[in-house]
Each structure stands twice: as structure tokens, then as C-alpha cells.
Amino acid sequence: MTDLSSKPPGHKRWATFLYGRPGLRLALLLAIPVVWLVGVYGGSLASLLVQSFYRLNPFSGTLERVFSFDTWAAVFTDANVAVMIRTVTMAAAVTVASVVIAFPLAYYMARYATSRMKALLVLAVLVPLWSSYLVRVYSWKLILAADGIINWFVERIGADAVLQALLDAPGIGGPSLSISIFGQFVVFTYIWLPYMVLPIHASLERVPRSLLEASADLGAQPATTFRKVTWPMAIPGVAAGSIFTFSLTLGDYIIPTIIGDSSPFIGLAIYTQQGVAGNLPLAAAFSFVPIAVMTVYLTVARRFGAFEAL
């Protein structure tokens, strides 16, 4: 009888070879992705930091590759701080509105929808989340236009005065709906809403029915059950959704370009600096503002259990 155990098979068994060498296997798997992600993407983020310490020559406007704090000082002018405050306020308003609008749908999906219905509703929320961001923004240009459907409808029901009062309101108004802050707010909310529905739905799914029954059995009114049981358990989902609505509003420049009175937001300021103004260092430095805001936001959201609900 021949001893097979000590004799390697004739052909190379590279799978067996690699199986005994997890380190090598890992290196082969990761070599290209790591070069791409850490090299290209990580390198790009690092170059952003480097770029922010370069400056434009104040007289010739040409890029000077010397280390300086001039660009960073230019980020925190009064005008730019106003831009930051406006953006963060809008992000907060959009987040609150998204929670209010998303909650009933998420609640219905989690508690009452049959499984077939639920699949359909999830699809109905996913499609706008994944598709045609730009076209969805554009659709509001048609709706809010001066001769568009809203004005047509308002005229029909004779509510011109109400609309005019809204447009005259300081801080949220404007000459017409499509160039008003209010219009901008509606579009932001519309665009990011799906990002709020899904996490709230996911966290409400995890509320056991028995818990709600127990609360009712112990004599709580439906409103009390909602306030003391359902809402606290939905908070991680709300926090997770708010990460998206907040972060996406902070960086967006498409909506402020198409809708609104073209007063700058952080995203728009970055975009303008790198494009029209040709000041890439300032754009780079400015882009650390949303990163800083989001870092703070994520730290807070984490405390509310947002990461477990993502």
C-alpha cells in the first residue's frame, strides 16, 4: 500500500496552499482595494487638508504653494459665518419637518401593513431614494413656477392673500415661491424624506407588539403609550435618519442653485469658490466646516443609539 498522505498531488492546489496561509490570502485580496481606497480616496482627503494651507496670491490671484494660515483666516469672515448659520438652521428645520412627515408613514408600515403591502411601501420609499435626484429637484421648479400648478390652484380657491402673506413673511419669503426660502425648505424636505422614513420604520419594527399591549393593559391611553413606549423606542431611528437629512443638507449645492433666492449655503460656497472664483484652497478649507459639524453631530447622534439603528 502506498502512503498517500505524504505525497503531494501532481497538480498545484493553490486553494489548499492559500488556505494554510491566511496572511498571504488576505494580502492578495486586499492589495488592490487598499491602494484604491486608502491611496486614492484617503490621499485625496489628505490633499484637501494640504490644499487648505496653500493660498492665492492676493494681487495676482495665482496659487501659491506655500504653507500659510491666510486661507483658514478667510473662512471665518462674518459673511461666511452667516452662511454657516443659515445652512445649519436650514438643516435643522429640514430634519424636524422630515421627522414629522415621515413618522406616520413609517408607523403605518411597521404596525398595520400586511407583508405584501409593506414590500410595496418599502419600494415606494426606495425608488425616490435611489433615483433621479436632479430630476426630482427639477420637478419642483415646474410646480413652484409663477405660472405653475400651485399658483394656479391658489388662484382657483381664492387664497391669493394667504400665499402673499407667506411670501411677505420676513426670513422665509421671497418674490415668488420658486425663489423663496420657504420653497427651498420644501424641496430639501422632499428630497431627503426617504432617508428618514426607512430608519424610523426599522426601529419601529423592533417594538414588540406585546409591549404595546402591556402598556394598554396597564391602563395607558393610546397617546400615553405612544409618548412613553413607542416614541422612546423610535428615537434611535429618528437619530439615524437625522444624520442623513442633516449631512445631506449641509453639503448640497444643487437645490440652492435651482430653487431659492441664490443666497449661499455651505455647499454652494464651496462650489463657487472652486469653480467661478477659482480659489481651490478656500474651497478646501471651507469643506472642513461640514466635516466638523458632522463630527459633532455624529457624536451626539451616537448617544441616542443612532448607530445601532442604521
Partner 1 sequence: MRKAGWGLKTAAALTLLFLHIPILFVFLYAFTTDEASFRFPPPGYTTEWFSLAFSRTDIRAAVSLSLRVALVATMVALVLGTLVAAAVWRTRFFGRNALSLFIILPIALPGIITGIALRSAINLAEISFSFWTLVVGHATFCVAITYNNVIARMRRTSPNILEASMDLGARGWQTFRHVLFPQLAPAMLVGAMLAFALSFDEIIVTTFTAGNQQTLPIWIFSSLVRPRNRPVTNVVAVFVVLITLVPIILAQRYSRRSDEA
Residue 133 is which amino acid?
A: Y
Q: Which of residues 199-228 bind partner 1 (CB under 8 A)?
A: none
Among the residue ranges 10-18, 74-82, 198-206, 234-242, the one whose residues contact partner 1 (CB under 8 A):
10-18
| Residues binding partner 1: number (CB under 8 A) | 87
| CA dihedral of residues 286, 288, 291, 295 (deg, nearest 10) | -130
Distance CA 293, CA 306 (A): 16
Instruction: Select from 74, 92, 93, 145 the one that contacts partner 1 (CB under 8 A).
Output: 145
Residue 83 half-sphere exposure toward CB, CA atoms < 13 A: 23
Considering beta carbons, is residue 99 or 171 the nearer one to partner 1?
Answer: 99
Report phi then psi at 68, rounded to 5.
-155, 160
Which is closer to partner 1, CB of 232 or CB of 278?
A: 278
Shortest distance in whole angstroms from residue 22 CB to partner 1: 6
Residue 34 interacts with partner 1 (CB under 8 A): yes or no: yes
What burial class does residue 273 get, using C-beta atoms within 10 Å of its C-beta: 0-12 exposed, 13-18 middle, 19+ buried? buried
Point out which span in 67-75, 162-170, 234-242, 264-272 binds partner 1 (CB under 8 A): 264-272
**Are residues 55 and 70 in contact, defined by beta-carbon separation less than 8 angstroms?**
yes
Q: From the list 50, 66, 165, 211, which residue makes contact with partner 1 (rule: CB under 8 A)?
A: 50
- CB distance 258 to 228 below 8 Å: no
Instruction: Output the smallest distance, CB 81 to partner 1, in A.
Output: 19
Which residues inside 241-260 make contact with partner 1, applying CB under 8 A?
A: 247-248, 250-254, 257-258
Q: Which of 33, 61, 175, 232 binds partner 1 (CB under 8 A)?
A: 33
Angle at 306 between CA 300 and CA 309, to 5 degrees: 180
Chain residues 53-92 in contact with partner 1, contact rule CB under 8 A: none
User: Nearest-CA neighbor of 246 among 285, 192, 304, 187?
Assistant: 192
56: β partners: 63
- Judged by CB under 8 A, the chain residues 111 through 130 that form the site for partner 1 are 111-112, 119, 121-128, 130
Pick out residues in 13-32 that bind partner 1 (CB under 8 A): 13-16, 18-19, 22, 26, 29-30, 32
Rounded to a whole number of angstroms, the minimum distance from the CB of residue 162 to partner 1 is 19
Q: Is 61 helix (H, G, I), strand (E, B) or coil?
A: coil
Q: Are 137 and 254 in contact (CB under 8 A)?
A: yes
Q: Which of 7, 8, 10, 40 binds partner 1 (CB under 8 A)?
A: 40
